[in-house]
Amino acid sequence: MNILLLGSGGREHALAWKMVKSHHCDQLFIAPGNAGTSAYGTNLAVSPTDFTALKTVCLDKKINMVVVGPEEPLVKGIYDFFQQDTQLQHINVVGPSAAGAQLEGSKAFSKKFMQRHGIPTAAYAEFTVSEYEEGKKYIQQHSLPIVLKADGLAAGKGVVIALSHTEALQAFEEMIIHKQFGEAGNKVVIEEFLKGIEVSVFALTDGEVYQVIGHAKDYKRIGEGETGLNTGGMGCVSPVPFMDASFMQKVEERIIRPTVNGLAQENINYHGFIFFGLMNVHGEPWVIEYNCRMGDPETEVVMPMLQTDIVALFAAMDNGTLIDANISFSEQSCATVMAVSGGYPGDYQKNISIHGLTEIVPDQSIIFHAGTKQTEHGIVTNGGRVLAVTSYGNNIPEAVATSKKVLEKISFEGIYYRKDIGFEFE
């Protein structure tokens, strides 16, 4: 079949890498893709949110399946757009309806959903601008730290963990009065801080049944030892040692199954990935957030760890056979280390030449491009997160060490990466 993949990051490079291994994949197109994805298919200069242009591509290229990488097209209703168009209805869109994407698109929606279905999550309250005074009172009597979240999509920046009431009140005012995150902050969720270890779990669901396709631990801060500003993710490891059978059973029974059942009960059409952002609090799983897509850089370890044909799984979601799928994982460990532009997550430059991309051992490491662009002068940087170097190893430290060796040979002006990915598992 012909497949169109939407997005341009490391996540999409990893999905493309995995999908072209499938004998079900004839031609792959990526809109817009990056310098890495062009090795696996044809990049098309079309925006993932330009649904009309995507329609033309689908008809021209005889696309049978659309795999949606980022959240924005999902929240904007790409699934529904395809369902409502008689020329596009037959296409298998991997991604939830706009209603389902609210799990990520609205923190207030997802918190209420979890409450309705008894899914463990931090206690919370939500406030709009007309409830500003009540919100301030709520903050003043809240235990510390206090977590504030802009309701809508804020490019991963809408969460503040305030260590004092003054800081929380300031953040609240910024979000709700000064519209720091625009409309995303029309509502603000204020919640309890959960102390524990974070882990991301990924499932594919057709809205009735699900399969867990992997998990990973992401390192979100820019600085070593998890210090400094939050980023999109500086590296990942998988499998995570505490994710044993007993913890996974709790995750499935208390979180994944009730989420999928809840969506079905509420007649919410969901046909895609669910990313469960969890906190392990003394051995008990709690939900920090849902996303309606794969994680980045989690995908850069989850796809290499997954041995099952991903395109066959996408097809199974469409023809009611997902329940019969046989999911298997590599026996090895995987780590990815993200190389970023100097200055990231603040301001950074683009169009810097990248050197040393070819010097890897193919069976051991994969260089996934995150923010890169092919130019007539070679491959250049095109984003904050530039490359995710994934490696296999007999254990996490070995996988991380191999990725770091590859990175020593790669250079671009300002390159930075964390050398302590997986530090707790050494």
Q: Please choose which of ligand GLY, ligand AMP, none residue 147 contacts, taking the beta carbon within 5 to 8 angstroms, the exact cut-off set by kind.
A: ligand AMP
Minimum CB distance to ligand GLY, residue 408 (Å) = 25
Return the number of the residue (214 or 277) whose C-beta is nearest ligand AMP: 277
Return the number of the residue (5 or 199) whose C-beta is nearest ligand AMP: 199
270-281 in b/e burial notation, b at 16+ Cβ within 10 A?
A: bbbbbbbbbbbe
Q: Please choose which of ligand GLY, ligand AMP, none residue 100 contacts, taking the beta carbon within 5 to 8 angstroms, the exact cut-off set by kind.
A: none
Count CB atoms within 10 A of the CB of residue 362. 6
Is 73 within 8 Å of 272 (Cβ atoms)? no
Return the number of the residue (172 or 181) whose C-beta is nearest ligand GLY: 181
289-310 in b/e burial notation, b at 16+ Cβ within 10 A?
A: bbbbbbbbbbbbbbbbbbebbb
Q: Please choose which of ligand AMP, ligand GLY, none residue 72 contacts, taking the beta carbon within 5 to 8 angstroms, the exact cut-off set by kind.
A: none
Q: What's the CA gap between 296 and 337, in Å, rounded?
A: 12
Residues in touch with ligand GLY (CB under 6 A): 218, 232-233, 291, 295-296, 298
Minimum CB distance to ligand AMP, residue 244 (Å) = 22
The single residue listed with the structure tokens 């051995």 is 283
Q: What's the CA gap between 281 and 273, in Å, rounded?
A: 24
Residues in touch with ligand AMP (CB under 6 A): 122, 147, 149, 159, 161, 191-194, 198, 220, 277, 288-289
Minimum CB distance to ligand AMP, residue 131 (Å) = 20
70 to 48, 139, 340, 383: CA distances (angstroms)? 8, 33, 19, 15
Q: Is the peptide bond before 241 cis (omega within 30 degrees of 0)?
A: no
Q: Please choose which of ligand GLY, ligand AMP, none residue 198 contacts, taking the beta carbon within 5 to 8 angstroms, the exact cut-off set by kind.
A: ligand AMP
Q: What's the CA gap between 370 and 132, in Å, rounded?
A: 40
Return the number of the residue (155 or 323) whose C-beta is nearest ligand AMP: 155
Which of 292, 255, 122 is CA-nearest to residue 196? 122
Q: Please choose which of ligand GLY, ligand AMP, none residue 12 contacts, taking the beta carbon within 5 to 8 angstroms, the exact cut-off set by kind.
A: none
Residue nearest to ligand AMP (CB): 289
Minimum CB distance to ligand AMP, residue 121 (Å) = 8
Return the number of the residue (191 or 298) whose C-beta is nearest ligand GLY: 298
Please give the torsion angle defined by the CA atoms of residues 149, 153, 154 and 157, in that order, rounded to the nearest 10 degrees. 50
Q: Please choose which of ligand GLY, ligand AMP, none residue 298 contacts, taking the beta carbon within 5 to 8 angstroms, the exact cut-off set by kind.
A: ligand GLY
Minimum CB distance to ligand GLY, residue 42 (Å) = 26
**Residues making up the chain, counted from first to last:** 426
